[in-house]
């Protein structure tokens, strides 16, 4: 859906992006990650044609990004931009028409979304009378109302309680299942792990790692395994990370240099092996590792 080739961006002497290459697959939910000041927002602004790259090129599908492509994009920025004195319903219809919808289309779709997200009571209120979470719902609707092919969400859960966070997560997943490609930028790593299938991590204006999330987690695996047995086992030493008694048996977490084939076979022969799995590192662990130590070769 989006391909960046050798894209650079400078602000005076500061390098925001340094010849980055990114490939965001069509139909993916792509987590665009990085610490503050890494260059994520600069790339998002380029995709939305708020700014242009100093060098390099961005492709939308097979063709270079064009001004007309903005109608195919929905963008929810981290800094919100609603008109505080304007009534919510009027504002949603106005912004929808700017995206090319007719008045009738805008009203029909807005009513549907307001009912879907339990927002009907918002329609005649002014934005300044809404809570932060309520206003965030309104901005979410203005982002998706014109049914764009590409959705870009920058910290979309700011201001939401857990119930509304879950509601919006489910809507993002549904929109993706219906064909939209989603770019998702956040510092909430648990959300990335829950909904993203691809990630790209930028630091100091460079791409540190990119690809399918599961492949990246496998690349950064560190030899940690979980074993559950129906009876206690005599396992001690530095390799034992933790152990606990469960209602289903005994749980052990081990960190080993080699795959524990002999141990698993032995426990299976004894008839006490209940469960075994390799524990892959979390997105948060990978994020910290890369930012502190750089990417793996």
Residue 292 falls within a domain, yes or no?
Answer: no
Query: Out of 63-67, 87-91, 92-96, 247-251, which region has the weakest mean confidence (pLDDT)?
Result: 247-251
Share above pLDDT 70 across residues of the chain, in percent, rounded to a whole number = 100
User: 82 or 176: which carries more pLDDT confidence?
Assistant: 176
Q: Could you tell me if 179 and 255 lie in one domain?
A: no
Residues ≥6 apart with Cβ < 8 Å to 112: none
Q: Is residue 207 domain-shared with residue 227, that is, in the same domain?
A: no
The pLDDT value given to residue 12: 86
Q: Are 42 and 162 in the same domain?
A: yes
Residue 287 counted as domain residue: no
> pLDDT grade, residue 297 (50/70/90)?
low
Task: Please say which residue of 211, 240, 262 terminates a domain.
Answer: 211
| Mean predicted confidence (pLDDT) in 261-272 | 91
Residues 149 and 256 in one domain: no
Tell whether 269 and 200 lie within a shared domain.
no
Q: From 167, 191, 211, give the residue that closes a domain.
A: 211
d(CA 16, CA 7): 10
Residue 62 pLDDT exceeds 80: yes
Q: Does 148 share its domain with 243? A: no
Its domain, for residue 230, covers 222-279
Q: CB neighbours (10 Å) of residue 244?
A: 8
Which whole-number Å values give the CA distances from 202 to 32, 116, 182, 209, in the listed order? 8, 35, 17, 8
The predicted pLDDT at position 113 comes to: 94
Same domain, 205 and 236: no
Give domain status of residue 295, yes or no. no
Q: Do 131 and 239 fall into the same domain?
A: no
pLDDT value, residue 243: 87
pLDDT of 80 over the 80 cut = no
Same domain, 50 and 189: yes
pLDDT score for 289: 87
Residues 165 and 270 in one domain: no
Separation between Cα atoms, residue 47 and residue 9, nearest integer Å? 12
Model-level pTM?
0.86
Tell me whether residue 181 is in a domain: yes
* 99 and 194 co-located in one domain: yes
> What residues form DSSP beta bridges with 225?
254, 278
Residue 286 forms part of a structural domain: no
* Partners of 8 in the β-ladder: 55
Confidence at residue 291, expressed as pLDDT on a 0 to 100 scale: 85
Question: Is 153 part of any domain?
Answer: yes
**CATH code at 6?**
3.40.50.300
Quick check: 155 and 166 in contact, CB under 8 A?
no
Domain count, the chain: 2
Residue 215, pLDDT above cutoff 90:
yes
> Are residues 34 and 163 both part of a single domain?
yes
């Amino acid at each position: 859906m989006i391909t960046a080739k050798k894209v650079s961006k400078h602000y005076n002497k500061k390098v925001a992006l340094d010849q980055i290459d990114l490939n965001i697959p069509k139909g993916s939910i792509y987590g665009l990650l990085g610490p503050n000041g890494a260059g994520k927002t600069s790339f998002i602004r380029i995709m939305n044609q708020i700014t242009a790259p100093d060098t390099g090129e961005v492709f939308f599908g097979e063709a270079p990004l064009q001004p007309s492509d903005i109608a195919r994009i929905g963008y929810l920025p981290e800094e919100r931009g609603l008109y505080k004195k304007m009534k919510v319903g009027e504002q949603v219809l106005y912004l929808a028409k700017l995206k090319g919808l007719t008045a009738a289309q805008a009203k029909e779709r807005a009513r549907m979304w307001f009912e879907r997200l339990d927002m009907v009571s918002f329609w005649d209120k002014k934005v300044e009378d809404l809570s932060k979470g309520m206003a965030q719902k309104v901005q979410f609707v203005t982002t998706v109302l014109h049914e764009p092919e590409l959705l870009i969400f920058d910290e979309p859960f700011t201001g939401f309680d857990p119930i509304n966070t879950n509601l919006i997560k489910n809507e993002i997943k549904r929109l993706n299942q219906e064909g939209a490609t989603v770019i998702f930028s956040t510092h909430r790593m648990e959300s990335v792990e829950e909904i993203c299938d691809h990630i790209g991590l930028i630091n100091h204006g460079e791409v540190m790692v990119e690809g399918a999330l599961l492949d990246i987690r496998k690349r950064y695996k560190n030899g940690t395994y979980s074993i559950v047995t129906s009876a206690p086992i005599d396992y001690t030493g530095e390799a034992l990370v933790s152990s606990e008694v469960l209602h289903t048996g005994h749980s052990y977490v081990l960190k080993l240099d080699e795959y524990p084939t002999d141990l698993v076979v032995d426990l299976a022969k004894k008839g006490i092996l209940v469960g075994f799995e390799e524990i892959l590192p979390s997105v948060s662990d990978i994020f910290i590792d890369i930012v502190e130590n750089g990417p793996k070769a």
